[in-house]
Amino acid sequence: MDFNLSREQRMLRDAANDFLANECPKARVREIEKSADGHDRALWEKMGELGWMGLIVPEAYGGSGGGFLDLVVLLETMGYHLCPSPYFATVLLGSVPILACGSEARKEALLPELAAAKRIVTLALTETGGGIEAEAIRVPGRIRGSGFEIDGVKLFVSYAHVADVLLCAVRTDESAVPEMGVTLFLVERDQPGISIGPMKSLGDERPCEVAFSGVRVTEGEIVGGFNRGWPIVESVLGKASVALGAQMIGGAQAVVDMALQYAKERTQFGHPIGSFQSIQHYFADMWADILGSRDLLYRAAWKITENLPAAGDVAMARARAGKTYRRVTTLGHQIFGAIGFTEEHDMYLYHRRSIAMDLALGGAECSYRSIANGLFDEAGA
């Protein structure tokens, strides 16, 4: 395994860093977060022109045919700059399952538009209770004539208010074991019977409550086959967990860089505070956390890219990244002192993101549980 970036990946990272530094400074991040949509269409279209939405989409569907590891490199840079956009929802939660399991007709219809930033898609998965296990999917998709009818409420649907398409996980067989009775449907957001309302969040993902009332869908909207949706969801959540970890590590790196600059400039007792042993220990802890987390993250991303079993690596990378981001932002606050807790300071932005991201996709607790279960299975317990 060689986790050094290729020449193309370094070019992607550097180009993304330059673009976001110019187009998405922290003042602009604040403006977008406070806007009604939490989304800048002009920025989105510029990202599309750079080919970011089609990064992992094959050339046959209008993309550039990159690999999952390329996507991780890009997302780490986006996390560094706190880029607020429905990129994660559209590419990880939308394009990935469509690309893997969508019908050829659906791929030809949707993927070129997604790659060109002309459409936005998101995943409607979580329900009351907040679980992301198969048994937590209870919203029914009942057979009605030649199609299906969806009734129920989905929660924490990222950027649903600006999405064009919802990939909705519903229960289509209540008598089957939980993992065998879930179906994924592509649902147009403007279809009759759908209502969307905002939910509060510490982060920038703009979660929404989506209520379905007698929403009709056909067999042609199924992704992956009838009652075969849960394995797709599991695969998507694994990749999304690594991608989320990349954003968290990028954010943690930004905090270290920001704190290091401050420690060089801020003086007490006639010396830069970076010369004090306690501050140096903070930086040593932060660097060690980030380097260890990044190694786990790229190991998991490499295994996914190579189609190798990666469940344990994904769980460890996700758990460690969340813990690292929160720990690094906490130590960053120790270095900056009271000023870092004000809303006007960039530390405030990163700390809020660290909390919100660590709770996303079921939270770190799901990853810890997965790690523990794997260890017990190996021990024969």
pLDDT tens, position by position, for the chain (381 residues)?
566 889 999 999 999 999 999 999 999 999 999 998 999 999 999 999 999 999 999 999 999 999 999 999 999 999 999 999 999 999 999 999 999 999 999 999 999 999 999 999 999 999 998 788 899 999 999 999 889 999 999 999 999 999 999 999 999 999 889 899 999 999 999 999 999 999 988 777 899 999 999 999 999 999 999 999 999 999 999 999 999 999 999 999 999 999 999 999 998 898 999 999 999 999 999 999 999 999 999 999 999 999 999 989 999 999 999 999 999 999 999 999 989 889 899 999 999 999 999 988 877 777 767 776 665 454 444
CATH number of the structural domain 122-227? 2.40.110.10
Amino acid at 235: S
Nearest to 127, CA basis, from 136, 118, 115, 135: 136
pTM > 0.95: no
Cα separation, 367 vs 27, whole angstroms: 34
Residue range(s) in the chain whose domain bears CATH number 2.40.110.10? 122-227
CATH class for the region spanning 7-119:
mainly alpha
Contact predicate 196/189, CB 8 Å: yes
Per-residue b/e over 206-224, b at no fewer than 16 CB within 10 Å?
bbbebebeebbbeeebbbb
According to DSSP, the residues that pair with 196 across neighbouring strands are 210
Q: Considering the domain 231-379, what is its CATH architecture?
A: Up-down Bundle (1.20)
- HSE (CB half, 13 Å, CA atoms) of 58? 8
Domain(s) of CATH 1.20.140.10: residues in the chain: 231-379
Residues of the chain with CATH 1.10.540.10: 7-119
